[in-house]
Amino acid sequence: MNVQEVRKMFPILDQQVNGKPLVYLDSAATSQKPKQVIDKIDDYYRRYNSNVHRGVHTLGTYATDGYEGAREKVRAFIKAKSTEEIIFTRGTTTAINLVASSYGRDNLGPEDEIVITPMEHHSNIIPWQQVARTTGATLKYIPLQKDGTIDLKDVEETVTDKTKIVSVMHVSNVLGSINPVKEIAKVAHKNGAVMVVDGAQSVPHMSVDVQDLDCDFYAFSSHKMCGPTGVGVLYGKKEHLEKMEPVEFGGEMIDFVGLYESTWKELPWKFEGGTPIIAGAIGLGEAIDFLNEIGMDNILEHEHKLAQYAISRLAEIDGVEVYGPKERAGVVTFNCDDVHPHDVATVLDAEGVAVRAGHHCAQPLMKWLDVTATARASFYLYNTEEDVDAFVNALIKTKEYFGDVFG
Ligand code: PMP
């Protein structure tokens, strides 16, 4: 399938914004949704909307099959051993919070350390700050190389036998760098720690095998991978999940309830208190079918090419600084001399080009880069070289508009 055929599957892309054809370069924030995902959710609400796991009636059975079928699709997509290891959450943030609140609180004490990096998204920083505060554990950071990559020597030096949790993003939402999480997991395990991976920017863009990575927990969001908002996944090794306490209590997650004591359902349901995100999970399952049809390796290669093309075209404009290593996923973060990235994004928007501006939920990384904010163009399977050209041409207009302060 070529990119023009792929684009036809995304109805939202076929529109004008501010009188210009829409060029959507903000997929790292949230991706667009193909028609088949929109239709699948519509079909659920029109034909078999019903609660799951409870009813003996026919619609309830369809809904349960759809919901549990989606869990199996997720399992196969990330190559987990069993659906017991796949927990539906609200997204990456909730998934990491679940690990921090349950595993973190029960396994950490004042002598222990949690190790993360300064490039993490706030979702992979603040839960650990909170756990460190409540347990007395120490939060430590693996230093970054000048280009924003992680050197394994620094991992070896930072992770010690006091470390109980190492949590690192697979792909940076700012630098686009792909972190060596498999090798970091080996260092974590050698020291007796568990490895948590924030996969929000990896699962949508590349083939991920959680068993090969040998991570203990892996978190990601549906809305960045052509699926609906409001649903995400926590993968966890069964040996850990079995020992962990739920963090949300109520309906759906119980086995027996007495007046003073209760027991929990088996995995994965003990972590899914309340009516689950049924339509969301079914939509995510359809998004996985769609991504499999295109092929994750094709998606990664396509985005890689677009990012490299964008970087080479940006080099033509004086005063544009691009952050991050050369080898990267489809994210290009930049600044234009003294023009504030919000102003850059506003002028680009007037040209129909949607990019992100701000701190990208990575304030410690902004500090490390010594900037207050940046602009970011991010690519996905539906973007084209023409999108990159439109973006670069709009940036040239921005330069003309801001005159002296830019270049
Ligand atoms: N981690 C990374 C690397 C992200 O890019 C994001 C989303 N911007 C998140 C975590 C949080 O994802 P969500 O908001 O879907 O929970």
What's the confidence (pLDDT) of residue 305? 96
CA–CA dist 289, 6 (Å, integer): 14
What is the spatial distance between Cα 62 and Cα 53, in angstroms, rounded to a whole number? 10
CATH of 37-292, picked from 3.40.50.720, 3.40.640.10, 3.40.50.1970, 3.90.220.20, is: 3.40.640.10
Relative to beta strand 163-169, strand 194-198 is parallel
What's the pLDDT at 54?
A: 78
Q: Taking Cα atoms as reference points, which of 399, 407, 406, 384 lies closest to residue 22?
A: 384
Which ligand 1 atom sits nearest the alpha carbon of residue 94? 16
* Per-residue tokens: 375: 């602009």
Q: How far is the CA of 224 from the centre of ligand 1 (A)?
A: 9
CA-closest residue to ligand 1 atom 5: 173
Establish how many alpha carbons lie within 13 A of residue 50's alpha carbon, considering only the half-sphere containing its beta carbon. Answer: 17
Which ligand 1 atom lies nearest to the CA of residue 169? 3
CA–CA gap between residue 31 and residue 281 (Å, rounded): 16
Closest-lying ligand 1 atom to the alpha carbon of residue 360: 8
Contact call for residues 202 and 220 (beta carbons, < 8 A): yes
Q: How far is CA 374 from CA 284, 322, 371, 389, 394, in A?
A: 31, 10, 7, 20, 17
Q: Which residues pair with 89 in a beta bridge?
A: 232
Using most ligand atoms within 8 A of CB, pick from 27, 89, 92 the residue to mutate for ligand 1: 92
Query: For residue 77, what are the contacts with CB-CB under 8 A and spacing of at least 6?
Result: 203, 208, 288, 291, 292
- Single out the residue of 253, 267, 245, 231 nearest to residue 80, CA to CA: 267
pLDDT at 404: 67
CA separation (Å) from 22 to 234, 307, 386? 34, 19, 12
Counting as low any pLDDT under 70, the low residues of the chain are 404-405, 407
The per-residue pLDDT for range 274-311, each reduced to its tens digit, is: 999 999 999 999 999 999 999 999 999 999 999 999 99
| Angstrom distance (rounded) from CA 128 to CA 208 | 24
Q: For residues 239 and 279, give the distance between their C-alpha atoms in angstroms, rounded to a whole number.
A: 29
358 sits in the region (left: phi over 0; alpha: psi -120 to 50; else beta) called: left
Q: Report the interhelical angle of 35-43 vs 278-294 (nearest 10°).
A: 150
- How many C-beta atoms lie closer than 10 Å to residue 81's C-beta? 12
Please confirm, yes or no, whether 226 is among the known catalytic residues: no
Q: Report the distance separating Cα 355 and Cα 348, nearest Å.
A: 8
Distance in Å, CA 359 to ligand 1 centroid: 13
Q: What's residue 407's pLDDT?
A: 62
Give the chain's end-to-end CA distance (angstroms, integer): 40
User: CA 54, 58, 64, 70: dihedral to nearest 10 degrees?
Assistant: -170
Ligand 1 center–CA 242 separation, angstroms: 26
Atom number in ligand 1 closest to CA 93: 16
Helix axes 296-314, 278-294, angle to 10 degrees: 80
Which residues of the chain are in CATH 3.40.640.10 domains?
A: 37-292
Q: Ligand 1, closest atom to CA 198? A: 1
> In a mutational test of the pocket of ligand 1, which residue from 117, 121, 167, 277 has the highest number of ligand atoms less than 8 Å from its CB?
121
User: Which of 237, 266, 216 has its CA nearest to residue 86?
Assistant: 237
Count Cβ atoms below 10 Å from residue 360 Cβ, excluding itself: 24
Atom of ligand 1 nearest to the CA of 171: 3
In CATH terms, the superfamily for domain 3-25+295-406 is Aspartate Aminotransferase, domain 1 (3.90.1150.10)
User: What does the pLDDT read at residue 326?
Assistant: 86
pLDDT for the residue 1: 79
Separation of 20 CA from ligand 1 center, angstroms? 29
What lines the ligand 1 site, CB under 6 Å? 91-93, 121, 123-124, 169, 173, 198, 200-201, 221, 232, 361
Pocket test for ligand 1, best of 26, 31, 117, 123 (most atoms within 8 A of CB): 123
Please give the distance, rounded to the nearest whole angstrom, from the Cα atom of residue 176 to the centre of ligand 1. Answer: 14
* Marked catalytic residue, from 215, 226, 336, 361: 361
Which residue, by CA, sits nearest to atom 12 of ligand 1?
Answer: 92
Q: Where in the chain is the domain with CATH 3.90.1150.10?
A: 3-25+295-406
Helices in 159-218 by DSSP H: which ranges?
A: 181-190, 210-213
CA of 376 to the centre of ligand 1 (A): 15
Residue among 387, 392, 296 at smallest CA distance from 4: 387
> How many whole angstroms from 124 Cα to the centroid of ligand 1?
9
Q: What residue owns the CA closest to ligand 1's atom 4?
A: 200
Largest CA distance in the chain: 73
Pocket test of ligand 1: the residue of 94, 125, 201, 233 to mutate, having most ligand atoms within 8 Å of its CB, is 201
Ligand 1 centroid – CA 56 distance (Å): 37
